[in-house]
Amino acid sequence: MYHACKPSLPQLRVWAPRAQRVDLVTRLDRQLMLPQDNGWWQAEESPGHGEDYSFLVDGEGPFPDPRSPWQPGGIEGQSRRLDHRRFEWSDQGFQPVPLSSAVIYELHVGTFSPEGTFKGVMHRLDHLVELGVSHVELMPVAEFSGSRGWGYDGVNLYAPHHVYGHPEELKELVNACHSRGLGVILDVVYNHLGPRGNYLPRFGPYFTDRYRTPWGDAVNLDGAYSDDVRRFFIENALMWLRDYHFDGLRLDAVHALYDFSARHFLEELAWEVKELEAGLGRHLVLIAESDLNDPRVIRPFQAGGYGMHAQWNEDFHHALHAALTGESQGYYADFGDLAHLAKALEKGFVYDGIYSQFRRRRHGRPAPDICGHRYVGCLQNHDQVGNRARGERSSQLLTQGQLKMGAALVLTSPFIPMLFQGEEWGARTPFLYFTAHEDAGLAREVFHGRLAEFKGFGWDPGDIPDPQDPETFVRSRLDRQELSQDRHAEILNWYKQLIRLRREYPELTSGRPEQVRVEFHEEKRWLIMRRGPLCVACNFSPAQQTVPLGGQATNLHIVLASQADAALYGWDLFLPGHCVAVLCCRLN
């Protein structure tokens, strides 16, 4: 699917403000590049589509292009030119459903299919359509070190990972999603680059030692030369949305983007995306991962916010996980009561300026006016599964009944629900942290770093698989043969029913916080969430019990229950242990 004839590509340019000389190296020759304004260098003659090249900076190198669109040989190889205009799209007029009615499905390209490629994902899209999700969210695909990894240590941010496939194969995947009515969101990482193959410092001051992140020096977003550094990341975001037709981006750990300039990087990015959206005539979204519990991240510009459309709600995940599992290690020490879960459902943030035992300080800020559509809620995601010592999924920690309760609360919540690959059938395969670093010293450092990270959770270091072991990666691959087993088919059917229920009742897609009412009994461990005519009743106790509904409605009937023996007795609801029932109540 390619256009046969297009105008030639523009001349190559590269930003190297402190360099005295920059050379363009191709298969045939080496040429001195010409200095331009503001530290830019331009070639007089540039290679065409499909031709390889690299740069020498003051005689050092050769280095890949910081904006390389294609790294067929990996992070240490030459860059290859790519003409994005050659691909012929067939998605004209496609618009994804709005986030307010979305159900997102997060997946990792390398483990979602046996092939571990873009094509492997494309061949299994029918399953996602039948499930009923609206958006696919790809974990990072930018070129990273080795053949295996999560993608959060990318170094060639403009180039899709060559092991996953050709850049045009990524476009084919997005095009195929659109043809099936699925929007596509890409996870991008702008707070750091990977430790291996990061040659940006050879070109310019992309990083600063004025701030430190968990990964080292911070990206230079507000110091000298930061204008062009900001443009590097903003133009990367625009490229994915424009040239690969992604419908949105998920921004990793924005709390590690240190920027004290008058206009925060996130706000500038959001404005640029808004301008691109107007030019393209396509709806585009930005979803942040933030540990700040600061509503400014998701407030609109007009209210002094950064303009992100939504953010992951970690408080909701932690409150739900702790209520179901009883875990209290690490940050789960701040959760566990049904009161925490009730507050998350009604107010979004649990820690909204109150004291956090885990942090040993007050955390967050109230956000009473924030719509539920500004939060993404989940039972599982790559972090909360993969950053466990043994990579256990909820299906390995919970009973079948508890698993159904967790799914029900996510998919009937006022938030944008998100599922993690395999969750919909209760996959038993773990999702572990895996790498394939060629540098043995770096591999050891990464492994020991994770051991230190796990100390706060009290996990035995002997339980942690070696990320470098190929078997760690293989074990993390989804096993679709599980779908032939009754227990997994039962969970899949439950997820399909919940997604269908969310579509049928508009009250479930309402994000208005004042329309969510939660009642609970801490000692008896039951919780009721009311949303319009629907009442979601959960028995967190392993013992059966009767839950009082109150005489507020008539014509009650159960529209969905996780166990068949849930039953109504007047204004009381009988629930077996670890059971959820969704009732329809016609108000007087």
Q: In terms of C-beta density within 10 A (0-12 exposed, 13-18 middle, 19 or more buried), how is residue 513 classed? A: middle
Closest CA to 54 of 13, 26, 33: 26
For residue 544, what are the contacts with CB-CB under 8 A and spacing of at least 6?
Answer: 574, 575, 576, 577, 579
DSSP letter string, 451-517? HHHHGGGT--GGGS--TTSHHHHHHTS--GGGGGSHHHHHHHHHHHHHHHHHHH-GGGG---GGG-E
SS3 239: helix
- Tell me the catalytic residues: 252, 289
Give the Å distances, CA to CA, from 460 to 167, 318, 391, 453. 41, 22, 13, 12
Q: How many CA atoms are closer than 13 Å to the CA of 7, on its beta-carbon side?
A: 2
As a residue count, the chain comes to 588
CA 44 to CA 12: how far, in whole Å?
A: 8
Which residue in the block uniquely carries the two structure tokens 């013992």?
543
CA 568 to CA 547: how far, in whole Å?
A: 10
CA 307 to CA 310: how far, in whole Å?
A: 9
CA 267 to CA 304: how far, in whole Å?
A: 10
Which residue in the block uniquely carries the two structure tokens 């760690």?
472
DSSP letter string, 57-107? ETTEEEE--TT-S--TT-TTS-EE---GGGB----TT--PPPGGG--EEEE
The H or E element spanning position 268 is helix 265-280
Kind of pairing between the strands at 22-26 and 52-57: antiparallel
Q: In terms of C-beta density within 10 A (0-12 exposed, 13-18 middle, 19 or more buried), how is residue 577 classed? A: middle
